[in-house]
């Protein structure tokens, strides 16, 4: 019996629970009950397109909270929850690139900078600009992204696409596969939020 595998499986849900508690504590200090929206099943995808190979991965277990009163947005992503088409790619991603045993999660803490242009009480699609700090691989960088917030029937959906440079986060690509992996990675955020009950 593989006890180490069982212990890993037990740790994962506990880490997810602690991430949600952390997000709520970070964002809810100034929030009224009606202004908090959250998800524990948001989707973040990324792809690397080079002339040789296209690499894609999806994570459908992203935790995020929005405070519609202040515009605060927080995301937490467990890196081992990214899944690839090929198991070997997933293994290389976790062991060689993001070193997910050492840096298990990536976080974003920021704000909707054009909050006054968004009416969270009225159904519609609203262009949104989000700025904040992205932490990955132990490095924190300022990022900014244009996206869309959709308000419908008391729920919120967020969509954005932006690029990051791997070297900005001290993620190096071995020269052996340098032609297969782009230094610029496209990140797609697609999350659906419910009011926090």
Domain locations in the chain as residue ranges: 3-195
For residue 44, the cross-strand partners are 59, 189
Q: 128 or 52: which carries more pLDDT confidence?
A: 128
- For residues 51 and 157, which has the higher predicted lDDT (pLDDT)? 157
Q: Are 8 and 104 in contact (CB under 8 A)?
A: no
Residue 49 has pLDDT above 80, yes or no: no
CATH class of 3-195: mainly beta
* Cβ(111)–Cβ(132) below 8 Å: yes
Taking 90 as the threshold, does the pLDDT of residue 130 lie above it? yes
Residue 133, phi then psi, degrees to nearest 5: -105, 120
pLDDT of residue 2: 44
Q: For residues 136, 138, 143 and 146, what is the CA-based torsion angle, rounded to 10 degrees?
A: 20
User: Is the distance from CB of 59 to CB of 94 less than 8 angstroms?
Assistant: no
Put simply, whether the predicted model's pTM sits higher than 0.85 gets the answer no
* Cα–Cα dist 182/189, whole Å: 19
CB 37 within 8 A of CB 75: no
Q: pLDDT of 58-107, one tens digit each?
A: 999 999 999 999 999 999 999 999 999 989 889 989 998 999 999 999 99
- Residue with the two structure tokens 């989000």: 130
Mean pLDDT over all residues of the chain? 86
């Amino acid at each position: 019996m593989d006890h180490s595998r069982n212990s890993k499986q037990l740790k994962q849900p506990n880490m997810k629970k602690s991430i949600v508690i952390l997000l709520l504590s970070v964002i809810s200090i100034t929030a009224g009950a009606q202004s908090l929206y959250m998800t524990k099943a948001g989707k973040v995808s990324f792809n690397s397109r080079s002339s040789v190979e296209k690499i894609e991965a999806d994570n459908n277990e992203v935790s995020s909270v929005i405070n519609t009163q202040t515009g605060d947005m927080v995301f937490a992503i467990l890196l081992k929850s990214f899944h690839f088409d090929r198991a070997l790619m997933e293994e290389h991603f976790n062991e060689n690139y993001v070193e997910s045993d050492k840096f298990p999660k990536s976080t974003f803490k920021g704000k909707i900078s054009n909050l006054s242009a968004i009416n969270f009480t009225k159904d519609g699609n609203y262009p949104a600009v989000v700025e904040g700090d992205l932490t990955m691989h132990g490095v924190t960088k300022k990022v900014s992204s244009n996206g869309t917030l959709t308000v419908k029937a008391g729920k919120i959906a967020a969509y954005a696409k932006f690029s990051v440079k791997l070297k900005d986060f001290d993620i190096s690509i071995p020269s052996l596969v340098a032609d297969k992996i782009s230094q610029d990675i496209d990140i797609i955020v697609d999350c659906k939020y419910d009011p926090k009950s």
